[in-house]
Amino acid sequence: MGDEPKKGILFLCVANSARSQIAEGVARAKLGEHFRIQSAGSEPTHINPYAVRVMEEIGIDVSHQRSKSVATIDPEDVAVVITLCDEEVCPVFLGEARRIHWPLKDPAGNPELDDDVQLERFRNTRDALVAKIGALRI
Protein backbone atom coordinates (compact mmCIF):
# COMPACT_ATOMS: atom_id res chain seq x y z
CA MET A 1 0.00 0.00 0.00
CA GLY A 2 2.94 2.35 0.59
CA ASP A 3 3.81 2.17 -3.12
CA GLU A 4 0.48 3.59 -4.30
CA PRO A 5 0.84 7.04 -5.85
CA LYS A 6 -0.68 9.87 -3.86
CA LYS A 7 -3.84 11.49 -5.14
CA GLY A 8 -3.15 14.96 -6.47
CA ILE A 9 -4.87 18.19 -5.48
CA LEU A 10 -4.41 21.19 -7.76
CA PHE A 11 -5.31 24.74 -6.70
CA LEU A 12 -5.97 27.10 -9.61
CA CYS A 13 -6.31 30.85 -10.02
CA VAL A 14 -5.15 33.32 -12.65
CA ALA A 15 -1.72 34.61 -11.59
CA ASN A 16 -0.75 31.77 -9.23
CA SER A 17 0.65 34.45 -6.95
CA ALA A 18 -1.65 34.73 -3.92
CA ARG A 19 -4.75 32.56 -3.36
CA SER A 20 -3.47 29.38 -4.98
CA GLN A 21 0.00 29.81 -3.45
CA ILE A 22 -1.50 30.22 0.02
CA ALA A 23 -3.75 27.20 -0.59
CA GLU A 24 -0.78 25.14 -1.75
CA GLY A 25 1.17 26.00 1.39
CA VAL A 26 -1.72 25.30 3.76
CA ALA A 27 -2.61 22.04 2.01
CA ARG A 28 1.00 20.82 2.02
CA ALA A 29 1.17 21.49 5.75
CA LYS A 30 -2.19 19.83 6.53
CA LEU A 31 -2.54 17.16 3.82
CA GLY A 32 0.90 16.74 2.28
CA GLU A 33 1.61 13.30 3.66
CA HIS A 34 -1.57 11.93 2.04
CA PHE A 35 -1.87 14.00 -1.16
CA ARG A 36 0.37 15.47 -3.82
CA ILE A 37 -0.29 19.23 -3.65
CA GLN A 38 0.23 21.65 -6.53
CA SER A 39 -0.92 25.09 -7.63
CA ALA A 40 -0.94 26.83 -10.99
CA GLY A 41 -2.48 29.66 -12.98
CA SER A 42 -3.49 30.62 -16.48
CA GLU A 43 -1.23 33.70 -16.41
CA PRO A 44 1.48 32.87 -13.83
CA THR A 45 3.57 35.72 -12.46
CA HIS A 46 5.44 35.37 -9.15
CA ILE A 47 4.52 34.62 -5.58
CA ASN A 48 3.25 37.75 -3.88
CA PRO A 49 5.42 38.93 -0.96
CA TYR A 50 2.29 39.45 1.16
CA ALA A 51 1.40 35.78 0.67
CA VAL A 52 4.83 34.82 1.98
CA ARG A 53 4.47 37.16 4.97
CA VAL A 54 1.02 36.00 6.10
CA MET A 55 2.02 32.36 5.77
CA GLU A 56 5.13 32.97 7.89
CA GLU A 57 2.77 34.31 10.58
CA ILE A 58 1.28 30.81 10.93
CA GLY A 59 4.60 28.99 10.65
CA ILE A 60 4.39 27.90 6.99
CA ASP A 61 7.26 28.79 4.66
CA VAL A 62 6.09 29.27 1.06
CA SER A 63 9.08 31.34 -0.02
CA HIS A 64 10.42 28.40 -2.07
CA GLN A 65 7.18 28.03 -4.08
CA ARG A 66 7.05 29.35 -7.64
CA SER A 67 4.25 30.41 -9.97
CA LYS A 68 3.49 27.77 -12.59
CA SER A 69 1.35 27.59 -15.70
CA VAL A 70 -1.61 25.23 -15.67
CA ALA A 71 -0.27 23.97 -19.02
CA THR A 72 2.72 22.44 -17.19
CA ILE A 73 0.59 20.27 -14.90
CA ASP A 74 0.25 16.61 -15.88
CA PRO A 75 -3.47 15.74 -15.81
CA GLU A 76 -2.60 12.20 -14.71
CA ASP A 77 -1.26 13.60 -11.42
CA VAL A 78 -4.48 15.40 -10.47
CA ALA A 79 -7.55 13.84 -8.83
CA VAL A 80 -9.11 17.08 -7.53
CA VAL A 81 -9.00 20.61 -8.95
CA ILE A 82 -10.00 23.48 -6.68
CA THR A 83 -10.52 26.79 -8.45
CA LEU A 84 -10.23 29.93 -6.36
CA CYS A 85 -11.31 32.66 -8.79
CA ASP A 86 -14.06 35.07 -7.90
CA GLU A 87 -14.72 37.82 -10.44
CA GLU A 88 -12.09 36.82 -12.99
CA VAL A 89 -12.25 33.87 -15.39
CA CYS A 90 -10.73 30.77 -13.85
CA PRO A 91 -8.17 28.72 -15.75
CA VAL A 92 -9.39 25.59 -17.47
CA PHE A 93 -7.92 22.25 -16.48
CA LEU A 94 -8.44 19.54 -19.07
CA GLY A 95 -7.86 16.50 -16.88
CA GLU A 96 -10.47 14.04 -15.63
CA ALA A 97 -10.52 15.40 -12.10
CA ARG A 98 -13.20 16.15 -9.55
CA ARG A 99 -13.85 19.89 -9.56
CA ILE A 100 -14.52 22.13 -6.58
CA HIS A 101 -14.97 25.91 -6.73
CA TRP A 102 -14.17 28.20 -3.82
CA PRO A 103 -14.72 31.77 -5.05
CA LEU A 104 -12.36 34.05 -3.15
CA LYS A 105 -11.62 37.68 -3.95
CA ASP A 106 -8.05 38.26 -5.05
CA PRO A 107 -6.28 39.86 -2.06
CA ALA A 108 -3.74 41.36 -4.48
CA GLY A 109 -6.49 43.04 -6.49
CA ASN A 110 -5.66 46.58 -5.29
CA PRO A 111 -1.88 46.88 -5.00
CA GLU A 112 -2.14 50.62 -4.29
CA LEU A 113 -3.60 49.95 -0.82
CA ASP A 114 -1.35 50.61 2.16
CA ASP A 115 0.64 47.87 3.84
CA ASP A 116 -1.75 47.27 6.75
CA VAL A 117 -4.78 46.95 4.48
CA GLN A 118 -2.91 44.60 2.13
CA LEU A 119 -1.82 42.41 5.01
CA GLU A 120 -5.38 42.26 6.36
CA ARG A 121 -6.73 41.21 2.97
CA PHE A 122 -4.12 38.46 2.68
CA ARG A 123 -4.77 37.31 6.25
CA ASN A 124 -8.50 37.05 5.51
CA THR A 125 -7.77 34.96 2.42
CA ARG A 126 -5.34 32.77 4.35
CA ASP A 127 -7.82 32.23 7.18
CA ALA A 128 -10.62 31.35 4.74
CA LEU A 129 -8.36 28.81 3.02
CA VAL A 130 -7.20 27.31 6.33
CA ALA A 131 -10.87 26.73 7.25
CA LYS A 132 -11.86 25.35 3.84
CA ILE A 133 -8.86 23.02 3.59
CA GLY A 134 -9.42 21.89 7.18
CA ALA A 135 -12.98 20.91 6.28
CA LEU A 136 -12.09 19.33 2.92
CA ARG A 137 -13.13 15.69 2.57
CA ILE A 138 -11.70 13.83 -0.39
Please state, as a whole number, how many other Cβ atoms lie within 10 Å of the Cβ of residue 95. Answer: 16
Q: Can you say how many angstroms the Cα of residue 116 is from the centroid of all Cα atoms in its chain? A: 22
Query: Which are the catalytic amino acids?
Result: 13, 85, 90
Are 125 and 19 spatial neighbours (Cβ–Cβ below 8 Å)? yes
Are 79 and 52 spatial neighbours (Cβ–Cβ below 8 Å)? no
**Could you tell me how many residues make up the chain?**
138
Are 41 and 91 spatial neighbours (Cβ–Cβ below 8 Å)? yes
